[in-house]
Structure 1
Amino acid sequence: MNRVFEKKWIVVGIAIFCSILWGSAFPVLKVSYDELQMAADDTIAKIVFAGMRFLLAGLIILIGLFLVDRKRLMVTKRQMLFLTIFGVIQTGLQYFFFYNGLAKVSGMQGAILVSSGTFFTVILAHFFYSNDRMNWKKGIGLAAGFAGIIVANWGQEFQLSFHFTGEGYMILAALTGAIGTIMAKELAVGIHPFAITGWQLSIGASLMLIFGVPQLESGAMTFTPLGFWLFVYSAVLSAAAFALWYSILKYNKAGEISMFKFITPVSGAILSAIFIPAETLDVYVIAALGLVAIGIVAVNYKGKSSAKQRLSK
């Protein structure tokens, strides 16, 4: 199985697919907030909704893994301790910041701010892995990718303001997500990627629900048929994206794989423009796609010398 997740075209395809799935979360959550009539300043409701979403996502993966290969679910006490810490950071903290921050910024603002997670991951990988250092190709990739995100939002009503519980929370979500990426690669030795995903989502979500449900006010969320299916979709996208992402992350360099996350905010901007009336699609988004593509190609370009070396082997 590890050979499958080391094949370049498979890795690229999965990385792009995961990034588009995560991009779809921006409009889905913004629409869900309106559909479920959740107040923008209701932090507890956001925590409970996130907990419900990720608990369902975690259970989908754990049940599926149990049916296919239940031995993969077994972990040691030491590994369970890691999974608990991982769940608190990757699911609990990251999505506490993400859900509450996104409620106070536009879908496109959220997209550009969360893209900072790619920078954090590449920087952390530089210090953690000797074979994943920062270089000129990654520098070009980061510059082109971030330029693409800025261009995607340039034609929108992007306000250069800063509020800690809005923009600040989105940046903190990006930082905790980057820390989680390094944890997943560095510490999850001997744990199946699907087991990592299922356990950390379930543990993190359970803690969010334990904290949030007792404080949830009556009528804070009103489920409609559309709201219910948006909730189900958001859980399924999390289950699929995280499980596949951790699978390719286990066998590839964190810095290079994370570059594909620049697709997430661009796809988020495109999908926000399609599904949120107040946000429109224009030529800037098309230009942004080109810049993101340049960034990804720059990072993954091996050059003639590398190609000759591979052929000579």
Structure 2
Amino acid sequence: MTPRTTGLLLMMLTAINWGTTWPLLKFLLTGLPPLTLRAWGSGAAALILFGVALALRVPLAVPRAQRGRLVLYALLNVTSWMAFGTLALRWLSASEGAILAYTMPIWAAVFAWPLLGEKPGLARVAGLLLGFGSVAALFAGRGAAIGIEKLPGMALILSSAVLFALGAVLSKRRPLLLPPVAALTWQMAIGALPMLALAPFLEHADVAGVTAQVWFWFGWMVVFTMAVSYFTWFGALERLPASTAALGTLLAPVLSVVGAAVLLGEPLGALEIGALGGVLVAVALAVRQPERRA
């Protein structure tokens, strides 16, 4: 299997995992407040990864020259994406949050051209426009009211998308010279710290009132939508152009809408199916184009 094929498979796994995140988060917020949910989740994922690193005897030492870069990437890839994105669900539905979050490929393509020299060809531009257009049509067609009451959520989720895209491109430009397990373990741990510090001052977690069902899906989120999906995301990013890897994640919001329909009773019809088809064509256009340098 070629690195490109492996990268595409990892991209698809990431999109599927992240596609389940938003309806799952909306459900988990019925039992845990947003910062607490994400802080505990990131911390638990870091502990699991730490155990994996020890079992595999992966060195966890971070050279001094890598430490500043590691902290920056943790804040962009973990803290901003998780904290801002989850807080936004206080104002947005699961499907609205997912759809706006995955404007991320737009920002990744914008950053990748000047920072990585990934000059987009016609196929990738067409894929980007088609994919984003499909997602935008899905958002508009669901009758989402863009009222002033939703502006805080929209600002948070768009900030999350922009910062995560910047983190992805910077990670591609100057990758961490660490074993993948070590890099992910430290990013999860460092990324959790700001959320752990702020959560007690901004919200109250009633742990005694959390149901067994919430704890089960919390565990699922920690293992699959956090630890596993970050492995597959960074693996895809290593093997594919940043803009292609990011564009592939446009599958996630459509899958989120399907998940929201199944889990939360949100509508699912011809519009959602059409958007999924448009995104699949967009991804096909993007991955057919070889990487080009400016």
**Which of 23, 26, 33 lines up with 1:30 in the alignment?**
26
Q: 1:189 to 1:152 in 2, by over 3 A?
A: same
> What is the deviation of 1:296?
0.9
Does the Cα contact within 8 Å between 2:123 and 2:289 map onto a contact in 1? no
Does the Cα contact within 8 Å between 1:88 and 1:203 map onto a contact in 2? yes
**Which of 233, 238, 241 lines up with 2:229 in the alignment?**
241
Divergent runs of 4+, >4 A? none
C-alpha distance in 1, partners of 2:278/2:211? Answer: 39
1:199 aligns with 2:195: no
Does the Cα contact within 8 Å between 1:270 and 1:281 map onto a contact in 2? yes
Secondary structure at 2:56's aligned position in 1? helix
**Which of 1, 6, 11 lines up with 1:15 in the alignment?**
11
**Which of 269, 276, 289 lines up with 1:289 in the alignment?**
276
1:110 aligns with 2:97: yes
Alignment of 1:47-86 (within 5 A): 47-71=35-59, 73-86=60-73
One-letter amino acid of the structure 2 residue matched with residue 125 of structure 1: A
Unaligned runs of 5+ in 2: none
C-alpha distance in 1, partners of 2:35/2:7? Answer: 32
**Which of 258, 262, 267 lines up with 1:270 in the alignment?**
258
C-alpha distance in 2, partners of 1:189/1:78? Answer: 10
RMSD: 2.1
Alignment of 1:144-163 (within 5 A): 144-162=130-148, 163=150
C-alpha distance in 1, partners of 2:248/2:147? Answer: 27
TM-score (norm 1): 0.86
C-alpha distance in 1, partners of 2:230/2:215? Answer: 21
Greater C-alpha Rg: 1
Per-residue deviation, residues 213-251 of structure 1 (Å, max 9, x unmatched) = 355436388311011011111111210011121122123
Residue in 1 that maps onto 2:167: 180
Q: 1:187 to 1:24 in 2, by over 3 A?
A: same
Alignment of 1:301-312 (within 5 A): 301-302=288-289
Q: 1:218 to 1:207 in 2, by over 3 A?
A: closer
Per-residue deviation, residues 132-189 of structure 1 (Å, max 9, x unmatched) = 1122112111111112213434552322335432111110110111011112222224
- Count of matched residue pairs: 289
**Which of 129, 137, 148 lines up with 2:116 in the alignment?**
129
One-letter amino acid of the structure 1 residue matched with residue 134 of structure 2: G
Does the Cα contact within 8 Å between 1:123 and 1:134 map onto a contact in 2? no
Residue in 2 that maps onto 1:138: 124
One-letter amino acid of the structure 2 residue matched with residue 283 of structure 1: A
Residue in 2 that maps onto 1:41: none
Q: 1:13 to 1:298 in 2, by over 3 A?
A: same
TM-score (norm 2): 0.91
Secondary structure at 1:217's aligned position in 2? coil
One-letter amino acid of the structure 1 residue matched with residue 96 of structure 2: Q
One-letter amino acid of the structure 1 residue matched with residue 164 of structure 2: G
Residue in 2 that maps onto 1:92: 79
C-alpha distance in 2, partners of 1:218/1:22? Answer: 25
Q: Percent identity?
A: 20
